[in-house]
Amino acid sequence: MTDDIHTPVLLERCIELLGPALQEPGAVFVDATLGMGGHSAGVLERFPGVTLVGLDRDPEALAIAGARLARFGDRVHLVHTVYDGIRDALDGLGIDTIDGVLFDLGVSSLQLDRVERGFSYSKDAPLDMRMDGTSDLTAEVVLASYSEADLRRIFRDYGEEKLAARYARRIVEERQNAPIVRSGQLVDILQKATPAAISRQGHPAKRVFQALRIEVNQELAVLERAIPAAIDALAVGGRIVVESYQSLEDRIVKRELQTRSRSSAPAGLPVELPEHRPELKLLIRGAELADDEEKAANPRATPVRLRAAERVRRDS
């Protein structure tokens, strides 16, 4: 059963934050990162008048979630799309505005638990890392075809890896001897390239694997488009909740929510005009972290940063 392999992160807190916007019959909730449907099942159970629009780029996840949510009948609409396609997905369903939207970012439990998907550096597998298996770019392709400069850039920018230059150079050297096609090969290359003193500070592959996954799936570029699109779709009183798991994601979310929760009136303007009033009201000060009880029950909640806001103004 999917419930045995997937525990939604901060489920009760997400429901608490979304709840005030989902009380009315006919409310529309978008789960922008459906995964195996754990958060969505919780929302549909708690709010019997809610209609779900579930988005996911992973066909396997959609199939599992579809089976899990089948009991909710025509209250469920699932769409195969990356989450920056939220507006097109809603237009396809004839939906103008929504009342709640949730983003649970990063790699899903399904993807982590399927060794053959190649997301984990702890298990040897093909270097795939695609969240959507129908797309063309894989981690193997990145490692085989990107220049040393581009590898260095993605390791530095997406993995915040201090040894980015060293790792990129070693990968380019090694691929001349043999194609790098499995995660075990890549881990071995990175371990040999890492000074002993640094290896003791943590697994040398962690940040490189994160960077490759982000590049393969264009996660940050997609997120920069998706958060504004989701906010634009919210009705007044609608709420957005976002769970991030690393600083690069959280920075994008924080910037957009803070920008839209501030007045855009020029400094010194004696009266704030309606069009300059904030669009959002922040529901959490800063980012909320999981407590010790949540971390103990669900270790994947350990790095989560939770942010939420309510739409308080909508342009006519």
Provide the CATH number for the domain around residue 45: 3.40.50.150
pLDDT > 90: percent of the chain: 81
**Co-location of 228 and 102 in the same domain:** yes
Same domain assignment for residues 93 and 226: yes
Q: Where a domain ends, among 217, 249, 277?
A: 217
| Residue at 176: amino acid letter | Q
Q: What is the pTM of this model?
A: 0.90
Whether the Cβ atoms of residue 61 and residue 33 lie closer than 8 Å to each other = no
Q: Tell me: do 129 and 200 sit in the same domain.
A: yes
Q: How far apart are CA 103 and CA 227, in angstroms?
A: 9
Range of the domain at 34: 2-110+219-311
Residue 104 counted as an annotated binding residue: yes
Q: How confident is the model at residue 115 (pLDDT cuts 50, 70, 90)?
A: low
Report if residue 316 sits inside a domain: no
Round to whole Å and give the CA distance between 99 and 145: 44
Q: Which of 183, 217, 251 is the last residue of a domain?
A: 217
Min mean pLDDT across 45-49, 57-61, 257-261 is at 57-61
d(CA 153, CA 91): 37
Q: What is the pLDDT of residues 200-220, one digit of tens each?
A: 677 889 999 999 999 999 999
Q: Does the annotation list 54 as a binding residue?
A: no
pLDDT at 196: 84
Structure tokens at 52: 């779900």
Is residue 37 part of an annotated ligand binding site?
yes
**244 Cβ contact list (under 8 Å, min separation 6):** 105, 106, 250, 253, 287, 304, 305, 307
- Arithmetic mean of pLDDT over the chain: 92
Q: Per the structure, how many domains does the chain have?
A: 2
CA distance 108 to 97: 27
Cα–Cα distance measured from residue 32 to residue 155, given in angstroms and rounded to the nearest whole number: 27
Rounded to an integer, what distance in angstroms lies between the CA atom of residue 2 and that of residue 38? 9
**Spatial separation of the C-alpha atoms in residues 240 and 264, rounded to whole Å:** 20
Whether 14 and 62 map to the same domain: the answer is yes
pLDDT tens digits, residue range 182-193? Answer: 999 999 999 999
For residue 10, the one-letter residue type is L
Write the DSSP symbol of residue 276: G
CATH of the domain at 196: 1.10.150.170
> Do 246 and 163 share a domain, yes or no?
no
> Tens of pLDDT along 56-105?
999 999 999 999 999 999 999 999 999 999 999 999 999 999 999 999 99
Q: Among 158, 186, 217, which residue terminates a domain?
A: 217
Residue 210 labelled as part of a binding site: no
Tell me if residue 26 falls in helix, strand or coil: coil
Give the number of other CB atoms < 10 A from CB of residue 104. 25
Q: Look at 26-35, 46-55, 221-230, 266-275 and tell me which has the smallest mean pLDDT.
A: 266-275
Assigned domain for 60 exists: yes
191 annotated among ligand-binding-site residues: no
Query: Are residues 8 and 105 both part of a single domain?
Result: yes
Grade residue 279 by pLDDT with cuts at 50, 70 and 90.
very high
Task: Say which residue the tokens 């040398």 belong to.
Answer: 204
Residues 110/61, Cβ–Cβ less than 8 Å:
yes
111 is in an annotated binding site: yes
CA diameter of the chain: 69
